[in-house]
Amino acid sequence: MKQLVTDFPLQLQEALIIGKNHKFITSPENFSNIVVTGLGGSGIGATIVQNYVFDKIRIPFIVNKDYFLPAFIDKTSLVIVCSYSGNTEETLMAMQQARKKRAKIICITSGGKVAEFARAKKLDCILVPAGMPPRSCLGYSLIQILAVLSHLGYIGNAYEREVKAAIKLLKADAESIKKNATALAKKIVGKTPIVYSSSFMEGVAIRFRQQLNENSKMLAWHGAIPEMNHNEMVGWRDDAADKAVIILRDKDDFERTQLRMEIGKKIIKKYHPTILEIHSEGKTYWERVFFLIHITDWISVYLADMRNMDAVEVKVIDYLKGELAKA
């Protein structure tokens, strides 16, 4: 897993080339909505893109993480099917529904049944390299979603320049990122992580939580500001020495949200004196997003080491899939 995290900048570089070289079958048209269907490591990229396009796309952009598609899906919809393995049962079922509803379908996968379906139905299918844990391939899927949106005219191609800048930043800061990640992991180990962020960075917070779950083999939760101010904040009443609060900060967070973070820190410090903050780095949106993703990925891997856990193995998920296959 350490090698996969190390290679993340190279993955972003390769992902840009894959998206640039894909010859699209689907032509730009006036879709009424866009739905990305995918789960786990295959779906988190869509969640992060959803944050990005919130104020850029004038039609609904929905991320679906279940067997079923929303009722509004019809022939005017675009469904982006995202499954790294190509065999995720929930995603396969949603894909079949999209076909029955006559929606336009674009697939992003490394192979499997999704690729077979795309070939049989002559659908767009962007193929990414196979053979890695899906959670380590975020860059591949996320960049391809952006490539689809750019091709269809919903966003420009400025993201390409920003991703290239992010690659340069991650390479230049590689050692300092690992050093800081190690220091942060030492403060988190033995505690239950609680990750907070602004709503516009919630996808990154979810990614961090998922990496703590899968790589570090730890329970964790996350909350987004301002929403958590209206409910979870009230739960801070008891001693929380067994918790590790980590706030993901970005300079472009709305000023009122930043004020809420500062006030929230004062409230939480009554019950938990140590609050860790991770500030994004970089000039552009994607530089800052990928910086936060990269440093939190490293934290999850270092925590696995500190807990004597194999960051790669996911035996419980394999067991679950095996039992489902028997049904």
Q: Indicate which residues carry an active-site annotation.
A: 214, 230, 321
At a CB cut-off of 8 Å and minimum separation 6, what does 235 contact? none
Report the C-alpha gap between 293 and 136 in whole angstroms: 11
Residues in the chain: 327
Single out the residue of 225, 307, 301, 211 nearest to residue 263, CA to CA. Answer: 225
CA–CA distances in Å: residue 188 to residues 135, 195, 213, 322: 21, 11, 14, 33
- HSE at residue 325, side-chain half, CA atoms within 13 A, is 8
